[in-house]
Structure 1
Amino acid sequence: IYLILTASTVVGNIVVLYTFYLYPYLRVPSNLFIINLAITDILNAMGRNNFVLIGLIMGPEPYTHLFCNISGFINSLGHVVMTATLAATAICRYLVIVRSYARKITTTVVRRIILTTWCYAILNCSMPWLGWSRYTYHPFEFTCLPDWHDENNFSYIIFVFIIDSVIPCILLIACYWRIYAFISANANRMLIHIRQSSLKARRHLPLRIMIKNEIKITKVLFIICVLFMICILPYSIVIFILIPCNVDVSPYVVFYCGVLINLNGSLNPVLYAAIYPKLRKIYRRLGCYLC
């Protein structure tokens, strides 16, 4: 399972990055978030998935104190960057669609936001190194992660659950709900106004295309966020609620909840293809080459 997930995630997201490299006009501010998500998915696949494979094949023996700290940090980093990026994407989509801040959400601003998410994630994941909790080997997940089972680390568990799960989910739901409400109330009216005369329609053709593109990108990004929440919710419930409450959870449930999180990285490139015809074209070429 993990070999398939790793291969599909790495190949799919490398194709995404190659598409953005090949077509510079795609590198608009909103798409920089997708580039960051693709990089994060590759990090998760090359990091967490391979660490799990090591645990599956060799058991806990390779996980010395140093290796456990490094692998645990990398495992946590990818997840925190992903949630922070999705939350930042939702906020920026809200500002562009609802508040008409498109001119202010420039490439420079988005790059600073992405840099901030990485700095925040590095600081967040460094806490176990600094004495707040610790990274330890989890036999049910075959890799090192923060110690969710130690009652002395309960404050850290609550912190991670709220900061890295609850707040991002609330932001995603709130922002996309406001976007949906705004589009439902205004999109048809804007397009009808633009179509009032053929002259106006020709004059506003770029505006119409821009509106449709923004709505399309927002829809796909919303689906990406929903998929992410579906993939992460079972794991969050098991790790942050059931296990700390001493509920007997099967090791298979814990393992497959972890698999579900990693599945997210394999599915994202498929959703990106719904936005970009150029990406679909490269996928078709790759498929023909492999066949």
Structure 2
Amino acid sequence: MEALEEVELCFPQLHNASCKKTKRPHFEAIMTYIILSSISLLTATLNLLVIISISHFKQLHTPTNFLLLSLAVSDFFVGLLMFFQIVLIDGCWFLGDIMCVVYLCVAYIITAASVGTMVLISVDRYVAICDPLHYSTKVTQERVQVCVCLCWIGSLVFQSLMVKENLENPGRYISCSGECVVVGNYIAVFADLGLSFVAPVITIIALYTRVFATAVSQAHAMRSHKVAVTFQGSVTVTFQKSELKAARTLGIVVVTFMICLCPYYFYVIVLTAQDILLSAKSAAFVICLFYFNSFLNPLIYAFFYPWFRKCLRLIVTFQILQSHSCEANIL
């Protein structure tokens, strides 16, 4: 016979004004906090190593790597935000209404910036695979940097407008003490879903479908020795295997991102369309799953990118502190 779950108040002194939380076994609670805290710390640390690697070593200053740098920055902040999500794991928020709105606003900005960066990565791979002859002229470091800045600025402005009323009146929409929510009108919510989820997902799927179709045909051509193409009668351009490998690796990053992102937005859609409140455990699970993607990304880099493993060795052995270390041969 299963025992009924006990409930307790987030703020017992407030009685009926306090939100309720589910009381879990002590061992389960401790293990949950330890595991999530470890993942949070590792997420921030690993992505900080990616940031240092790409920022420091000049050989890594390429358009594609600048996009990975943008993704690593968002993933680094996700690692920090996970500490706040751990506070919410039992459905209770103890840091006040202002911190609640700030936390959720920052989380939305980072999420939107991550999605935007994924779209830029897909565009980068599309041009590299489908139009390799013009890649170096179409995708330059300056253009990528401008696109990344616009992505972050756009995310900041759009998401700040989304929660503007909540920022002006923190705690206005909470139903009990210990709750952490922001509320927007239906138009704003569906606009956010369209711009931050539906449109980017359709774009990513369309671009990568074309990328992998082209990659497969190019791979067949390479095996048939029909890759060489003469450009302007003097330059022979060979389809590089490295581009195929990069497309595969970044494809894994994109697919992993989609797997971790979709449950979160499906949760938001269900919450909005049916106007129901799912359990705190359900909300915590989909949010933690999305955050977990930020932990996986640097592991994917470590597994598929030799340059990242080499950078790690130079960083952990403090060789990065030597003069002219930024000129080191990484590739």
Shift of residue 178 of structure 1? Answer: 0.2
**Residues 1:99 and 1:31: Cα distance change in structure 2 (over 3 Å):** same
The match for 2:112 is 80
CA contact (8 A) 1:176 1:222 kept: yes
Q: CA shift at 1:16, angstroms?
A: 1.4
CA distance 1:162–1:135, change in 2 (3 Å): farther
Instruction: Tell me, yes or no, if structure 1 residue 167 matches structure 2 residue 205.
Output: no
CA pair 245-135 structure 1, distance change in 2 beyond 3 A: farther
Q: Aligned with 1:102: secondary structure?
A: helix
Residue 74 of structure 2: aligned partner: 40
1:17 to 51, 76, 98: 51
The total of aligned residue pairs comes to: 272
What displacement does 1:143 show? 8.0
- The answer (yes or no) to whether the contact 1:157–1:240 under 8 Å persists in 2 is no
Q: Work out which of the residue numbers 99, 105, 120 in structure 1 matches 2:131.
A: 99
Match of 2:84 among 46, 51, 57: 51
Secondary structure class of the residue paired with 1:188: helix
| Match in the other structure for 1:110 | 144
Equivalent residues in 2 for 1:164-203, closer than 5 Å:
164-190=196-222, 192-193=224-225
- CA gap of 1:57–1:138, structure 2 versus 1, over 3 A, is same
Q: Quick check: which one's helix share is greater? A: 1
CA–CA distance in structure 1, aligned partners of residues 210 and 242 of structure 2? 18
Q: Counterpart of 2:25?
A: none
Aligned to 1:214: 243
- C-alpha distance 106-287 of structure 1, shift in aligned 2 (>3 A): closer
Q: Report the counterpart of residue 28 of structure 2 in structure 1.
A: none
Alpha-carbon offset, residue 231 of structure 1: 0.6
Distance, in Å, in 2 between the alignment partners of 1:251 and 1:111 is 39
Aligned equivalent of 1:278, options 285, 304, 307: 307
1:72, 1:135 within 8 Å by CA — same for their partners in 2?
A: no
Residue in 1 that maps onto 2:99? 67
Calculate the aligned-residue CA RMSD, in Å.
3.2
3-state DSSP of counterpart to 2:135: coil
Structure 1 pair 252–195 and aligned structure 2 pair: CA distance change class (3 A):
closer
Could you tell me the percent identity over the aligned residues? 22
Contact 1:20 1:26 in 2 (8 A): yes
Q: Structure 2: which 5+ residue stretches go unaligned?
A: 1-34, 229-234, 319-331
The residue number in structure 2 matching 1:226 is 255
Structure number with greater Rg is 2
Using the size of structure 1 for normalisation, the TM-score is: 0.81
